[in-house]
Amino acid sequence: MPTDIRDTEYTFDNGSPDAVPQLRALESFLDPVTATRLAAPVLAPGGVCWEIGAGGGSVARSVAEAVGPAGRVLATDIDTAHLAPGANLDVRRHDVRTEPPPGDAFDLIHARLVLLHLPERRRVLASLAGALAPGGWLVIEEFDCTAPLRVLTAPSDDAAKLFAQVTDAMLGILQSHGADLAWAQDVHAQLAAAGLVDVDTVTHSRSWPGGSLGASLHETNSRQLEPELLDAGVSPGQLEAFRRLLRDPGFAVMSYQFVSTRGRRPV
């Protein structure tokens, strides 16, 4: 178990003022992809489901609607400030790194942009696979952050270089907190090694123009990580220019590859 606090804390703080726009940007981009991946046969009326790192709760709410009044959804996070319970939706503070699964017969367990941040990711994934009911599905969705983000258009070469410099610094900070930027590439094999069947993976990426919700995610991330970016040598002027660039309609960049992998416990 790492003793350095940097290796045991999530990089982004759900309690910060920037957490809400960050969550909204992620939901706007990712929820349609996740909804497709959780559709039948993964989700069925009456299912018992666990949403890990539920964030703003958008996925948990849609899952609760899909399973209906006969089903049950548990939404967990280490910070539940943005989560609200519902008729068939329970909310609980829970840390998958240190606490056992809150049950052992889930028809669906879903975690989005969670395990890549955890040094204990492989142990946690094996634990999640063991908490599935026979026939239950585990769906793990992550960003693949290994390839440089491709700038499609920029006002100048210097602007494109600045974008690369700041985003590279942010990825370095993620790694210093214990994130594995290539974890998305390993999930398929890890699900198979855990004994799951029907394992399949899809990837999704799209362009984010300046001023879009997608581009705003980079800006919000830079605000959350500002103290560490400054420590890493990014100047206040560079940060301000970076944020202006992300609002410039003449700028566009490809998103990270979003990798969705799912597998089913044999009956």
Residues 121, 191 contacting (CB under 8 angstroms): no
Does residue 226 lie within any of the structural domains? Answer: no
Q: Considering only CA atoms, which of 125, 253, 129 is closest in space to residue 183?
A: 125
Residues 252, 208 contacting (CB under 8 angstroms): yes
Distance CA 117, CA 88 (A): 29
Q: Considering only CA atoms, which of 169, 209, 199 is closest in space to residue 263?
A: 199
Q: What is the CATH number of the domain that holds 90?
A: 3.40.50.150
Does residue 37 lie within any of the structural domains? Answer: yes
| pLDDT per residue rounded down to tens, the chain (267 residues) | 222 223 345 566 666 667 788 898 999 999 999 999 999 999 999 999 999 999 999 999 999 999 999 999 999 999 999 999 999 999 999 999 999 999 999 999 999 999 999 999 999 999 999 999 999 999 999 999 998 999 999 999 999 999 999 999 999 999 999 999 999 999 999 999 999 999 999 999 999 999 999 999 999 999 999 999 999 999 999 999 999 999 999 999 999 999 999 999 999
Does residue 11 lie within any of the structural domains? Answer: yes
Does residue 250 lie within any of the structural domains? Answer: no
Torsion angle of alpha carbons 17, 260, 83, 102, nearest 10°?
-130
Predicted TM-score (pTM) of this structure: 0.92
Phi, psi of 144 (to 5 degrees): -90, 110
Entry field: residues in the chain: 267
Give the total number of structural domains in the chain: 1
